[in-house]
Structure 1
């Protein structure tokens, strides 16, 4: 059974989609932009979990990272693909901040604005890679973890070679194995030193050279090189 192709909903760069949620994640308020720009009725979203608006294409690590930020009462910023309840989807830069009252967090405010074409392309590429590789990506994208892995494997082979001399041949092959692994690594989209979802977000919004350029007239895209 083939899945129906969803259409992307586009809204202006100056539009701000604002929601307020309780501590349980249930939406208690939406601003007029949800009605004017997304076609919702005034109370369509009130009473539902904010997480229900997140598209299935979003990597699970995004939700995990948000929960961690929420636990430590910190704001959270990410590129988010949203599911429209009446079909379709839209991409936003979402900033979620805690609302305080008498030094206690009583609610959360979400402010969503449109992504640029460049940011959306970066997000689509990185999130697709995240979903494909799951948590393995974080370990392998982290240079220090790769270096530690190479060192441990080399030391293990050397130690075993003391008891089985034929294993020394594998030890001398390690430089070539490392070279091959780093060559494969260079084809991925970004390098992280923390292994956290924040590195993905920084790459999406701070890429210096990009794979697509925006055109102000018709929003068409031109292919160029892509690195972080």
Structure 2
């Protein structure tokens, strides 16, 4: 998993009325962005376009969140969850990410994501839960469709049978 460094402890907040937009190809390479993405990330459009979307991945994000994201997108399902991203200078910003596959004639041709500002309560809950995953202490928890949930016996059986 990509581990972008260095990082700072300085948070940049997305405005209440701002949305970040991006489209990627099927491999996660950025194909289209809006100005808000450029502004908050600190990367230029040239530094983002054509690059893997994980260029903004923050090392505090657990790999389980991205595994869940890609599992859903590749299955043709949308995904929504909290994401902590890294700015070019190491600062960070939190978003509620809504990602969805875009279809043409029944086939996924691209992925689109629209992100908005989360509440402070959402950030605190996600930060605490993601720390458990990173430290290997998320016993009995998993990330399912972007949410941290309790893993139960039914899920374990289905996961290993299918």
The structure with the largest strand share of the pair is 2
Given that 2:7 and 2:90 are in contact with CA atoms closer than 8 Å, whether structure 1 keeps it comes out as: no
Are the structure 2 counterparts of residues 65 and 38 from structure 1 closer, same or farther at C-alpha, using a change threshold of 3 Å?
closer
How big is the shift at 1:63? 1.3
Q: Structure 1 48/198 Cα, relative in aligned 2: closer, same or farther at 3 Å?
A: same
The TM-score, its normalising length taken from structure 2, stands at 0.79
Between the two proteins, the alignment pairs up a number of residues equal to: 144
TM-superposed deviation, 1:36? 4.3
Structure with a larger share of its residues in helix: 1
Query: Within 5 Å, which residues of 2 pair with 1:31-180?
Result: 31-133=34-136, 137-138=139-140, 141=141
Q: 1:35 and 1:63 mapped to 2: Cα distance?
A: 22
Mapped to 2, the partners of 1:54 and 1:89 lie a distance apart of 10
Consecutive unaligned residues of structure 2, counting only runs of 5 or more, are 1-5, 150-162
TM-score of the pair, normalised by structure 1: 0.57
2:10 to 7, 10, 18: 7
Aligned mate of 1:201, from 135, 147, 154: 147
**Farther-moved stretch of structure 1 (37-46 vs 7-16):** 37-46
Q: Is the 8 A contact 1:126 1:200 kept in 2?
A: no
Q: SS at 1:62's partner residue?
A: helix
CA RMSD of superposed structures (Å): 2.2
Larger relative contact order (Cα-Cα within 8 Å, sequence gap ≥ 6): 2
CA distance in 2, matches of 1:75, 1:131: 24
Unmatched 5+ stretches in structure 1:
142-195, 204-228
